[in-house]
């Protein structure tokens, strides 16, 4: 058999597909952040976001540690089961935190 080339794209780009969803339309309308705008806001914006991001990371680690200790009765530093519980809890909280990141930026 011979192979034939076609000029038709079979699958649309994922960026275009996401942009057409209701979430994509909302994001395109409300997420207007570009380099010019960032320069106008200055270094304090960057530093404050970094501070908030670090506080968020500390809170996630503390919550995951508390959960692991309360479920297993042991520290994640000394027990494999507690470490696994810590990892599962932290990963879930991390995903949730990143889902709500646009709210934190706003």
pLDDT tens-digit profile of 47-71? 887 888 899 899 999 999 999 999 9
Helices (H), the chain: 14-19, 22-30, 35-41, 43-72, 80-99, 101-105
Mean pLDDT for the stretch of residues 17-41: 68
- Residue 2: pLDDT band with limits 50, 70, 90: low
pLDDT of residue 45: 72
The answer to whether 72 touches 79, Cβ cutoff 8 Å, is yes
DSSP state of 59: H
Closest CA to 93 of 72, 51, 63, 52: 63
Q: How far is Cα 46 from Cα 51, in angstroms, rounded to an integer?
A: 9
> What is the average pLDDT across 12-24?
62
Q: What is the pLDDT of residue 7?
A: 52
37 falls in which pLDDT band (50, 70, 90)? confident
Report the Cα–Cα distance between both ends of the chain, in Å, rounded: 57
- In tens, the pLDDT along 8-17 reads 555 556 555 6
pLDDT at 53: 84
Quick count: other Cβ atoms within 10 Å of Cβ 90?
Answer: 19
Q: Does residue 28 carry a pLDDT above 80?
A: no
């Amino acid at each position: 058999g011979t192979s034939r080339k076609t000029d038709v794209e079979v699958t649309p780009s994922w960026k275009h597909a996401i942009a057409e969803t209701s979430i994509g339309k909302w994001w395109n309308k409300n997420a207007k952040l570009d380099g010019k705008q960032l320069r106008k806001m200055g270094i304090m914006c960057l530093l404050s976001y970094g501070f908030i991001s670090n506080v968020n990371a500390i809170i996630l680690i503390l919550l995951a540690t508390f959960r692991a200790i309360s479920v297993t009765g042991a520290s994640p530093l000394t027990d494999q089961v507690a470490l696994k519980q810590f990892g599962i809890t932290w990963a879930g909280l991390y995903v949730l935190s990143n889902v709500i990141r646009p709210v934190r930026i706003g």
